[in-house]
Amino acid sequence: MEEKRHRIILLFNANKIYDRQIIKGVGYFLQATQVNWDIYIADDFRTSFKHFPVLSGDGIIANYDDPDIVDLLANIDIPIVGVGASYQNPLDYPTIPYVAANNDTLIEKAFNHLYSKGIKHFAFYSIPPSQYCRWASERENSFNRIMIQKGLTGSVYQGMETTLDNWQLAQNELVKWITSLPPNTGIIAVNDARARHVLQTCEFMKLKIPEQHCVIGIDNEDIINYLSVVTLSTIAQGTEEMGYKAASLLQKLLLNKMNGTPRILVEPQKIIERRSTDYRSVQDPYVMQAMNFIRNHACRGIKVEQVLAEVRLSRSNLEARFKAELNKTIHNVIHQEKFDKAKYLLLNTTLSINEIYQMCGYPSLQYFYFLFKKHYNKTPKEYREQEK
């Protein structure tokens, strides 16, 4: 007997990386199990409510962080699996099978990462309370609980919902908050989009990241790193796993093989450490100034002499300070910055190696290959292929 072909509706807004990765996880389930599903998803991958058709499928996987979707499905009598945030209050969960990102461990992971760097002051940049952003309130509450548990006083700022009309006002208010923070504060942003606000505002204020403040986001939204001078450290949520598990639950529902109403919490996947939290407890103001100059200009082909001119010290003096603070030479630090940028581009873009060596400030492709092979014992091409 031929297996029934099920019509499955996905209700997400895939303009957000969170939703896109969940959809990808559903796709992994389809590829791994070869289930007999027909998938409906809007052509632009966004759920539109203006002219939404009557829902007539066999099953639904939906983003239950969106209250409009929840309302739409309130009286739908077909199998539904929800995906969304975790909650402290059990009564806040929907009464359907549900897969959630563990907000407590997301914030705990961000805090521990900053704490391991020697950061002693902490702040949280959130979002104004909204029924559309209940996950943000949960993360804010998680931050406050950690501060209490650790006996720390953390600063929380919700800011404004930023629009084109209030963009400048929102940044001015953010300036005031950042100015109020003590030096070397670790700022946890509720997501990568809010983290970008902090990076952009710190650049406007001429604050050095990570020397003066560290910033970490949540989501691993790559596009942020193309819009910011400083690359953003972030936490990759287990969103693909969430999508896979949601699809698995729906298949059990369709086959009447589910007992009860399961609720699954998915842990964060990993921390992706980039420049915004590459904090070293540097006390020497000249080394701090030099490090900031190197980070911003290494890939423009600068030499040691230009660093000396920036901080206005003799080479022997600054080299001694670098040795004491970092146990590295100025030349070593310049090359490490260039290597770090090259590795990031090799792994996270499809740019040709010919383009990458120029973007990283090397005089020739041959010289880039020579130095890279000497440092990593593999060519840039081999590094890209093996690490990916």
Say yes or no: 261 and 360 in one domain.
Answer: no
Looking at residue 367, its pLDDT comes to 93
Say yes or no: 132 and 175 in one domain.
Answer: yes
3-state helix/strand/coil string of 66-102: CHHHHHHCCCCCCCEEEEEECCCCHHHCCCCCEEEEC
Q: Do the strands 59-63 and 80-85 form a parallel or antiparallel pair, or are they unpaired?
A: parallel
Distances in Å between the Cα of 68 and the Cα atoms of 18, 86, 99, 103 are 17, 18, 18, 22
CB 59 within 8 A of CB 8: yes
Q: Do the strands 121-125 and 185-189 form a parallel or antiparallel pair, or are they unpaired?
A: parallel
For the whole model, what pTM was predicted? Answer: 0.80
Going by C-alpha positions, the residue among 339, 335, 343, 351 that lies closest to residue 383 is: 343
The boundaries of the domain holding residue 311 are 285-387
Looking at residue 368, which CATH number applies to its domain? Answer: 1.10.10.60
Distance CA 174, CA 169 (A): 9
Say yes or no: 124 and 203 in one domain.
Answer: yes
Tabulate helix, strand, coil % of the chain (nearest 5): 50, 15, 35
Looking at residue 44, its pLDDT comes to 63
Looking at residue 52, its pLDDT comes to 52
Question: Does a structural domain hold residue 263?
Answer: yes
Question: Does a structural domain hold residue 139?
Answer: yes
Question: Does a structural domain hold residue 64?
Answer: yes
Question: Does a structural domain hold residue 301?
Answer: yes
**DSSP one-letter string for 144-211:** HHHHHHHT---EEE------TTTHHHHHHHHHHHHHHSPSSEEEEESSHHHHHHHHHHHHHHT--TTT
Say yes or no: 164 and 207 in one domain.
Answer: yes
> Where a domain ends, among 270, 293, 323?
270
Question: Does a structural domain hold residue 1?
Answer: no
> Where a domain ends, among 277, 293, 328?
277
Distance CA 297, CA 294 (A): 5
Distance CA 58, CA 38 (A): 10
Say yes or no: 228 and 125 in one domain.
Answer: yes
According to DSSP, the residues that pair with 218 across neighbouring strands are: 235
Q: How far is CA 13 from the centre of its chain?
A: 18
Going by C-alpha positions, the residue among 250, 239, 244, 145 that lies closest to residue 192 is: 239
Q: Take residue 381 and report the two structure tokens written for it.
A: 């091409």
Say yes or no: 186 and 40 in one domain.
Answer: no
Distance CA 294, CA 282 (A): 15
Say yes or no: 192 and 259 in one domain.
Answer: no
Question: Does a structural domain hold residue 328?
Answer: yes
**DSSP one-letter string for 19-69:** HHHHHHHHHHHHHHH---EEEE--TTSB---TTPPP--SSEEEEETT-HHH
Say yes or no: 85 and 160 in one domain.
Answer: no
Looking at residue 149, its pLDDT comes to 96
Looking at residue 49, its pLDDT comes to 55
Say yes or no: 141 and 195 in one domain.
Answer: yes
The CA-based angle 224-112-324, given to 5 degrees, is 85
User: Is 333 in a helix, a strand, or coil?
Assistant: helix
Looking at residue 387, its pLDDT comes to 82
Looking at residue 120, which CATH number applies to its domain? Answer: 3.40.50.2300
Say yes or no: 120 and 61 in one domain.
Answer: no
Domain count within the chain: 3
Low-confidence stretches of the chain (pLDDT beneath 50): 1, 51
Q: How far is CA 198 from the centre of its chain?
A: 14
Say yes or no: 185 and 295 in one domain.
Answer: no
Say yes or no: 14 and 92 in one domain.
Answer: yes
Looking at residue 77, its pLDDT comes to 86
Q: Within a 10 A sphere around the Cβ of 365, how many other Cβ atoms?
A: 14
